[in-house]
Structure 1
Amino acid sequence: MKGKLVLDTRARVAKIDPRIFGSFIEHMGRAVYTGIYQPDSPYADEDGFRKDVIELVKQLNVPIVRYPGGNFVSGYNWEDGIGPVADRPKRLDLAWRTVETNEFGLHEFMKWAKKVDTDVAMAVNLGTRGIDAARHLVEYCNFDKGTYYSDLRRKNGAEKPFNVKTWCLGNEMDGPWQIGHKTADEYGRLAEETAKAMKLVDENIELIACGSSALDMPTFGSWESTVLEHTYDQVDYLSLHRYYGNRDNDTPNYLAQSLDMDDFITGVLAICDSIKARKHSKKTINLSFDEWNVWYHSDQQTADNQPWQIAPHLLEDIYNFEDALLVGTLLITLLKHADRVKIACLAQLVNVIAPIMTDENGAAWMQSIFFPFMQAAQYGQGTVLTQIQDSPVYSTKQFDQVPYLESLGILNDDETELTIFAVNRSDQESLELDLTVTDGFVIDHQLLATEFTGYGIKETNENGQMKLQNNDNVTLSRETAQATLKPLSWNVIRLAVNKA
């Protein structure tokens, strides 16, 4: 089986915003407690943060983390997580029916974010709260001193502002499951007025309005239109959420789910631009795909049978090899839309549907999906190139014309390296990839060629056996490269290039 990829180095989609490799930490299950924070662990540092998790997060090169939710934020009082820990109240978390101790709060998270060298996307509660709580939180985080909330932050140990620049106006407010669920008009008006107040406190922040929490929501489309009619002039991004699973155990159809993500993005962009035209606006709304991942292994793992526990095991998907391949295609899809998708958050980061897992009594370990995300975040920096791809196709019950090859080319910022991400969806045949570089650049030598392949589709990494391997089947000439992509494989090829 043969495939072709032609990369035009002069025709460029967009420079990649590094925040497209973001992630998400919610007060849910063991994401925080025994995830990133476990003072009684032998792996804990002086602040109670798990050092093994910190090192793995650094390997993932995550540039921004959304916090503190998620469904959790729609019933959360941010003031519960500041001040002396002994004085903080325990609360019922209605979103996940657990008890939140508030031992870990805003200051702890900001300290942890600094240790892993990431920025923060802070979500505000527009479920049970609104304008006042949001504007006060911006003041607490970002105002220097001399006011009630800025001085309260200083009293609580943070003399300098946190300077949080990215803010989410609530979470999944279109969902009937959401505490404080609203109609599009109700949410749109509240988000508009909250945005105004927040930007009066700090005009430099960027705001994300809630879009649909899934493509198949009955309000999809009308929700986006109505919300943007209210908020277009006040916000900078519209959010998308989408999760994928292989409940029918149909691997060919499962690995084609990135086409669904592409349709979702394309549809939302069309709506955004229609509102722009209707408003005669010169402003362009970009997208924040701030929840995406595989999520289906742990569907039945809820707190409903034993509610009101502290940090129970919830939604701890153990990912297999085919999940990693899908995550690879989803990353490629996000990058193909780098002109408009500026932020994306793999949900979540630790323990809860996450690439990193911890043992409360042992070490942290990497899930299968860790590997493609790590490589994409490490090498997916620069500018996405316009491409022409030719590949054999197949059909499934859900999709027609699915290419066996999913690929992308990226030119780094100093224009000396070309990176190709490629997935072969076939479970039977290798794909002989013929790469051509046109218009102004020639290939000098190979920097890296790796493959993630050879595992059973249901195989997991619980025993730590998964690893990246070298791909020795790459040959180069001045303007072309040939590579063999094994069946069911995630591939990364990095080439040193020169201007012709």
Structure 2
Amino acid sequence: MKQAKMVIDKEYRISDIDDRIYGSFIEHLGRAVYGGIYEPRHPEADEQGFRKDVLELVKGLNVPIVRYPGGNMVSAYNWEDGVGPKDRRPNRLELAWRVIETNEFGTNEFADWAKKAGSEVMMAVNLGTRGIDAARNLLEYCNHPGGTYWSDLRKQHGYDQPHNIKTWCLGNEMDGPWQVGQKTPEEYGRLAKETAKAMRLVDPEIELVSCGSSNSSMPTFPEWEATTLDHTYQEADYVSLHQYFGNRDNDSQNYLANTMELDRFINTVISICDYIKAKKRSRKKMMLSFDEWNVWYHSNNQDKEIEPWTVAPPQLEDVYNFEDALLVGSILITFLKHADRVKMACMAQLVNVIAPIMTDNMGATWKQTIYYPYMHASVFGRGTSLHPVVSSPKFDTKDFTDVPYLDSAVVYSEEQEEVTIFALNRHIKEDLKLDINVSGFEGYRIQEHIVLENSDLKTVNTSLHQPVKPHTNGKSELRDGYVEAVLGKASWNVIRLKKNK
């Protein structure tokens, strides 16, 4: 059996973790809204049409922030269509996904839903077909207390108190040729800067996210970041990153190494941010918002067959297998390793559309395989990210070299006197023995060792059968200041230590 070693100490700190790295995303796309979080005729619908069964699963994830309303959709979206009396809201051609948008659900409904879910809102503004005016008016509608046209209109719509939305995205993926209103970096940088200035005049307390490249393989990356941040560095608080992964070559060992590329992507963006900081002689440190990430490839072929201009068709409904859950866990581990700079992240998306939660229209809801590592990280990964000293055997794949079999992150909660070790064994054929030096945590005991494992990497969960579920029979013991654990082949492990009272 291969062996890995780890030393953890409460003094080896990376950063306090911003809880918003466990955020998610709801776009007007497919059945994310209609048939997902909102289905007025469903037996589980509340008085506002929100599915209570979905809300319970969302609460189980403890999602701190949810991005809305897009995504590609926002780049041609008129927010005014989605407020006011529902019988007066227009049907529109939604150009990003070529469907009919009924606008039955809009800004106020989402603010209400987020409150019931216990989440903050990350609102995106349209910088594709629109710009400064639409953005500042939406902000005034949402956040201004009253006495002006847009804030008083909100009151007329039944919302006397402002929504006080703190976090705002300045457009979405504006370098993408698929984007309505695609911009050059100069065009976007100038527009984003001026929009940010106007929005801060309306509400100086907001946080702003400047658009980064659509993904790390874009021909515009990383020059896009350098050029746009040259304009927006002093106005924005974050720059966005987006990345999706897929096992298209059916090479599982290579697939599970993809976070090596994710790590490089994050480090490259950090380098550019710090270059612009030096160039501008700024004291400000730009933070990262990884506000779209997930596995996305299973549904690509079926999406090509969808008839255009229908209402809420089943789009991007990836059915995730067990190896997808392992990669999702590895992605979350990567964010924890970069907790000093990655301060927000949004799994895209939350319900039905490349999502941890699935529903049947008028029917059941269930947890996909990826629900579990996301839940474990969000529930147990609050506190301070520690820097473990790790020694692990390594392997090479088609695309990556020197990949550690052990992928791990450690979170310390001083307040709760708890230590959580997230440990992924990337070896798809062999168990991994892990020795962890925890002598700096005297008086701690193993509270539980959660494991997500399955002998078949391609196993999926459905509404009728959920074979991929965690158990608490992990093999670990604590003796003489060391945790001795065995990580099963291709397994996700959560080892929780707590101080004895």
TM-score band, normalised by the shorter chain? over 0.9
Query: What letter is aligned with 1:135?
Result: R
The residue aligned with 1:154 is: 155
The residue aligned with 2:427 is: 426
Q: Indicate whether 1:211 and 2:212 are aligned.
A: yes
For 1:84 and 1:166, the matched residues in 2 are separated by 26
Q: Which moved more, 1:67-76 or 1:37-46?
A: 37-46
Contact 2:288 2:343 in 1 (8 A): yes
Q: Indicate whether 1:441 and 2:445 are aligned.
A: no
The residue aligned with 1:202 is: 203
The residue aligned with 1:479 is: 481
Contact 1:405 1:422 in 2 (8 A): yes
The residue aligned with 1:470 is: 472
The residue aligned with 1:135 is: 136
Query: What letter is aligned with 1:356?
Result: I
Contact 2:431 2:488 in 1 (8 A): yes
Determine helix, strand or coil for the equivalent of 1:342: strand
Determine helix, strand or coil for the equivalent of 2:254: helix
The residue aligned with 1:454 is: 454
Q: Indicate whether 1:497 and 2:499 are aligned.
A: yes
Query: What letter is aligned with 2:238?
Result: Y
Mapping for residues 23-172 of structure 1, pairs under 5 Å: 23-172=24-173
The residue aligned with 1:226 is: 227
Q: Which moved more, 1:390-399 or 1:406-415?
A: 406-415
Determine helix, strand or coil for the equivalent of 1:441: coil
Determine helix, strand or coil for the equivalent of 1:308: coil
State how many pairs are aligned.
Answer: 498
Determine helix, strand or coil for the equivalent of 2:163: coil
> Unpaired runs of 5+ in structure 2?
none
C-alpha displacement of 1:408 = 1.1
Write the deviation string for residues 305-355 of structure 1: whole angstroms up to 9, x where unpaired: 511000001010000000000000010001100000000000000000000
Determine helix, strand or coil for the equivalent of 1:301: helix
For 2:152 and 2:455, the matched residues in 1 are separated by 55
For 1:375 and 1:298, the matched residues in 2 are separated by 26
C-alpha displacement of 1:480 = 1.3
Query: What letter is aligned with 1:473?
Result: K
Determine helix, strand or coil for the equivalent of 2:47: coil
Query: What letter is aligned with 2:484?
Result: Q
The residue aligned with 2:358 is: 357
Q: Indicate whether 1:275 and 2:255 are aligned.
A: no
Determine helix, strand or coil for the equivalent of 2:154: helix
Cα distance, 1:342–1:472 mapped onto 2, change above 3 Å: closer
Determine helix, strand or coil for the equivalent of 1:55: helix
Contact 1:442 1:478 in 2 (8 A): no
Contact 2:348 2:354 in 1 (8 A): yes
Q: Which moved more, 1:41-50 or 1:164-173?
A: 41-50
Q: Indicate whether 1:299 and 2:300 are aligned.
A: yes
Percent identity between the two aligned chains:
59
Write the deviation string for residues 85-115 of structure 1: whole angstroms up to 9, x where unpaired: 0000000000000000000011111111011
The residue aligned with 1:173 is: 174
4+ runs deviating over 6 angstroms? none
C-alpha displacement of 1:301 = 3.2
For 1:444 and 1:42, the matched residues in 2 are separated by 47
Write the deviation string for residues 423-472 of structure 1: whole angstroms up to 9, x where unpaired: 0011111111100125x432421111110012411100111232211134
TM-score (norm 1): 0.98
Q: Which moved more, 1:451-460 or 1:365-374?
A: 451-460
Determine helix, strand or coil for the equivalent of 2:90: coil
Contact 1:443 1:477 in 2 (8 A): no
TM-score (norm 2): 0.98
C-alpha displacement of 1:14 = 0.2
Query: What letter is aligned with 1:435?
Result: I
Contact 2:451 2:474 in 1 (8 A): no
Q: Indicate whether 1:384 and 2:374 are aligned.
A: no
Query: What letter is aligned with 1:85?
Result: K
For 1:459 and 1:450, the matched residues in 2 are separated by 19
C-alpha displacement of 1:83 = 0.3
Mapping for residues 248-263 of structure 1, pairs under 5 Å: 248-263=249-264
CA RMSD of aligned residues (A): 1.2
> Unpaired runs of 5+ in structure 1?
none
